[in-house]
Amino acid sequence: MRLLLLLFLAYFSTSSIAAKVENIRIWPAPDNTRVVLDISAEVTFEQITLANPDRLVIDIDKSTLSTTVAKLDFSNSPIRGLRSSQRSGNKLRLVLDLAYKTSHKIFSLPPNASYGHRLVIDLSNYQLPKPTPAKGAVKKTTPTLTSGDEKASPPKSTLNSLSLLDSQRDIIIAIDAGHGGEDPGALGPRYGGQKLREKHVVLGIAKELQTLIKKEPGFEPLLTRTGDYYVSLRGRTKKARNAQADLFISIHADAFKNSKARGASVWILSSSGASSEMGRLLAQKENEADLIGGIGGISLEDKEDDVAMTLIDMSMNYSQSAGSGVAKEVLNNIGKIARLHKNHVEKAGFVVLKSPDVPSILVETGFISNPGEAAKLRTKKYQKQMANAIFNGLKNYFYSHPIANTYVASVVEAKRKQLFYKVVSGDTLSAIAQRFGTSVKQLQSLNNMTSTSVLKVGKKLTIPKT
């Protein structure tokens, strides 16, 4: 009898605690903070929000904490601290002390190649406005999001060089480093005890491309993510659309079960993918018109279905045509430094390629699962070479197909008509001479300049005929 009792107690003690929280990770991003709990098994949970002070309480059933929370870094997040306690019924309680009231989402993620069971807590980095008691008729106002104790709108893309002279705006290139944060992307061979991760490789290439574009007059880069954090697929394209980008480039590193697979490739949206996206946008127009915003600056909210469909169709036709043109140039230039998986641009229904009014391409820089290509992709030298190839391709395209009222268009027009050229920030005499197929000496002679003359922003230069 005593033996049966001991066996019953042993069974009860092991079955009543089914999971352990083995690790806690923090992924800070500009707009949100993600807290990830690595758990030994699938769990159920309850959540409670408390005020004065603001707290988020999470009760996890039949679980214990087997890691420390003392050294977690909550800087640049709404979290001030994290506390834990073991409750009756073997329930683990986690309390997030918050700096202010904010929106949140909590959900479970199943195991994948990199992680086991996870519980994810997503917190907005912006403070929710305090409700104002209604007294009589109240005028509706748009709430202002605040961060911390200071009032501030959510950060917008900083595009410093858009205030160019006259109508010479920059061509905006949205650079999307795939994956990030909890999503490592494809995994390569081990280096220094850790597998090479796609998210790190592509962010390195994206930042090299950002540097090249930033240095080129007439172009402005925008990174969809600047660090190791997750951005949703729709969130990436939304950032590009909000910035009114002229091109969206998503950078990846492929993987395959056969480690011999190799070669870089460039992708655009397939026709079937475009058709399905048009239907989705039209449905979205009906259900959530405010999320559409407009196509090319035109609001769809007040348009009949057939008109809206026509506008979306025209916009996507342009986006696909321009995307195809850029993709061919980029592929040709990548082919100069790397082996190509296919010698033509490929098509697929990637979600990140589905912006209706932003030409979009996806670049697979190589197979990270191939030891030879992985060895190159992990080096700064090769990342720079790949970024330079992508840059040369997009630059070639936009100088061959200039966008009206841009700096690039003014350069092309001046060269075609032998017009005056207005100097902008970043210009040098040698660069201008090279751009227009002339020499520094000819420019100096025609514009009464000497070797000591200062090239000032806004100065009009006469371009010699070539």
Domain ranges for the chain: 14-124, 163-400, 418-462
Confidence of residue 321 (pLDDT cuts 50, 70, 90): confident
Average pLDDT over residues 403-414: 84
**CATH architecture for residues 163-400:** 3-Layer(aba) Sandwich (3.40)
> How far does the chain reach from its first CA to its final CA, in angstroms?
105
pLDDT at 217: 87
How far is residue 236 from each of residues 176, 178, 245, 301, 351, measured CA to CA in Å?
7, 9, 12, 23, 10
> Is cis: bond before 53, omega within 30 of 0?
yes
- Tell me which fold the domain 418-462 belongs to: Membrane-bound Lytic Murein Transglycosylase D; Chain A (3.10.350)
pLDDT digits (tens, 9 = 90+) for 146-200: 333 333 333 333 333 333 334 578 999 999 999 999 888 889 998 888 899 999 9
Mean pLDDT (whole number) for 12-35: 81
Beta strand 460-462 pairing with 420-422? antiparallel
Question: Residue 135 pLDDT > 80, yes or no?
Answer: no
Grade residue 292 by pLDDT with cuts at 50, 70 and 90. very low
What's the CA gap between 28 and 74, in Å, rounded? 8
With contact defined as beta carbons under 8 Å apart, do 387 and 423 qualify? no
Helices (H) and strands (E) in the chain, counts: 11, 21
pLDDT of residue 166: 43
pLDDT digits (tens, 9 = 90+) for 374-387: 999 999 999 999 99
pLDDT at residue 143, as a whole number: 35
Yes or no: say if 394 and 284 are a contact pair by the CB < 8 Å rule. Answer: no
**Per-residue model confidence (pLDDT) at position 81:** 92
Dihedral sign from CA coordinates of 120, 146, 155, 293: positive
Q: Find the DSSP H helices in 216-304.
A: 233-242, 271-287, 289-292
- pLDDT confidence of residue 393: 97
For domain 14-124, which CATH number applies: 2.60.40.3500, 3.40.710.10, 3.30.43.10, 2.70.170.10?
2.60.40.3500
Q: Is the pLDDT of residue 142 over 70?
A: no
Angle at 78 between CA 210 and CA 104, to 5 degrees: 95
Q: What is the pLDDT of residue 134?
A: 47
Do 418-462 and 163-400 fall under one CATH topology?
no
Instruction: Tell me, yes or no, if the pTM score tops 0.85.
Output: no
Q: Give strand pairing partners of 24.
A: 37
Q: What is the pLDDT of residue 466?
A: 59
Q: pLDDT band at residue 109, thresholds of 50, 70 and 90?
A: confident
What is the C-alpha separation between 392 and 199, in angstroms, rounded?
A: 23
Tokens 């870089």 belong to 264
CB-based contact 359:212 (threshold 8 Å): no
453 — pLDDT class (breaks 50, 70, 90): confident
